Amino acid sequence: MLLLLAACVSCTHAPEPFGPVPTEAQLAWQRMEVNMFCHFGPNTFTGAEWGSGQEAEEVFAPTALNCQQWVNVACQAGMGGIILTAKHHDGFCLWPSAYSNHTVKPDQDVLRQFTDACREGGIKAGVYISPWDRNHPAYGTPEYNAVFSNTLKEVHMGYGPFFEQWFDGACGEGPNGKRQEYDWPLFERTVLDVNPLCVLFSDVGPGCRWVGNEEGRAEETNWSRLRVESGARKTENGGCGDMDGDRWIPAEVDVSIRPGWFWHADEHPKTVDELMEIYYNSVGRNGLLLLNVPPDDRGRIPAEDSAVLCAFRAERDRIFSHDLAQGAKTHAWHRRGNGAKNVLDTAYHTYWAATSKKAELTLEFDSITEFDIIVIQEYIPLGQRVTSVNMLLDPDGGLYSYTLGDQPLCTTVGYKRIIRLDHPIRWRQLVFQFEGMAPPVINRIAVYNSKAQ
């Protein structure tokens, strides 16, 4: 349907997809751009990051739990989803599970309050359930895989649908001193049987992949494609993907607003500038940002964190609400139909489809325009194609190539690429030179001035 619609808009046949492409669920996931992670559990009360699993259940005692407040904070921060650590490595379940003795009491069902609040607040709910379990006596034995699969089923059937299931890569010894051989195909099947639209996160997907660090940074060259050898659970290329990857497994950039993943009384959130840097290095490099904002021992997001998140949203709105390319004239020699102007509209499913692997698109402004940020988006439902973008400028009739150091403007683009120039530049005409593994398909080009008030 989407391809047909796009074809009508450019009055010609839609190009064939190139290589692996996202499922509709992966596309919807990528378009969320910034989501919230909530690490909450016994560690919130003990000061630990990895609980031993031996903590008394009574340790988990929020004094004023309010998941609606988490939802309000996330919505105000412009986030589309929240993922809750329903079970971290200590094995403590934030719902009264039938498959564990280490859980909240039935009248203290945090997962229920969380999913209800998300539904009421119109935000998507996701769930983290750690396969590593330092409490469960069966951990380290073949029976544990069935226990974990039942746990997944219980959560997804009883509390879903969830937009994302987070499978942590950590795997250590259990209380019986044994490590677990995880049955990944069973775990994935269990979730997808209940909810085929759930995006499965792990180091190697299959829905989305770990970016390979916890600092909030994808590589500048970042493919949403990945080569995963059969049965492999790790990749060296989480941050950059594989240009020749045979599967669509985009990068998720998880990072905490505070030094730890869990709330600790003596820690404080990052600044707006630090969050902006993370945003440029994640969303701006074809990744999805999963920003952890841990609730405190009351069960609420602290005021200092929500204040920073509001300011982070306001800063993004300030910079990205005025697209200076709007109203520019567009020209492209290498095009199908009449599509060059489609890069300026905000409709997602309209695009400029070039007809050759090297193709140019010109933006001509009415008057001299000053800018320092360029946003480019590839139409990823047809695959990720672009390998490099150069920019030519016309200061006084002649065209000059703009380089960042000795690099092109950028290498990969993917869903979204945000390019920050070293300093604002003032020009009337910009020529973008694209190169791709297949003719580029671009759905958006926008320019902004981050220094404008």
Binding site residues, ligand FUL, CB under 6 A: 49, 168-170, 254, 261
Q: How far is the CB of 162 from ligand FUL (least distance, A)?
A: 17
User: ∠ CA(349), CA(34), CA(30), 5° rounding?
Assistant: 35
CA distances for 442 relative to 59, 231, 319, 382, angstroms: 53, 35, 22, 10
Structure tokens at 22: 């996202």
Structure tokens at 322: 């005025």
- Report the residue number, 170 or 232, with the smaller CB distance to ligand FUL: 170
Buried b (16+ CB within 10 A) or exposed e, 414-436: bbbbbbebeeebebbbbbbbbbb
Position of minimal CB gap to ligand FUL:
170
- Report the residue number, 235 or 387, with the smaller CB distance to ligand FUL: 235
- Report the residue number, 131 or 383, with the smaller CB distance to ligand FUL: 131
- Report the residue number, 261 or 263, with the smaller CB distance to ligand FUL: 261
Cβ-contact 315, 274 below 8 angstroms: no
Q: d(Cα 23, Cα 187) in Å, to the nearest integer?
A: 20
- Report the residue number, 15 or 81, with the smaller CB distance to ligand FUL: 81
Q: How far is the CB of 100 from ligand FUL (least distance, A)?
A: 18
* Cis bond upstream, residue 381 (ω within 30): no
* Cis bond upstream, residue 206 (ω within 30): yes
- Report the residue number, 48 or 343, with the smaller CB distance to ligand FUL: 48
- Report the residue number, 89 or 385, with the smaller CB distance to ligand FUL: 89
Cβ-contact 397, 324 below 8 angstroms: no
Q: Which residues pair with 378 in a beta bridge?
A: 442
Q: How far is the CB of 288 from ligand FUL (least distance, A)?
A: 14
Q: How many CB atoms lie within 10 A of CB 12?
A: 15
Q: How far is the CB of 398 from ligand FUL (least distance, A)?
A: 51
Give the residue among 312, 403, 306, 347 at the shortest CA–CA distance from 73: 306
Cβ-contact 194, 160 below 8 angstroms: yes
Sign of torsion over alpha carbons 294, 297, 299, 302: negative
Q: How far is the CB of 449 from ligand FUL (least distance, A)?
A: 36
- Report the residue number, 33 or 168, with the smaller CB distance to ligand FUL: 168
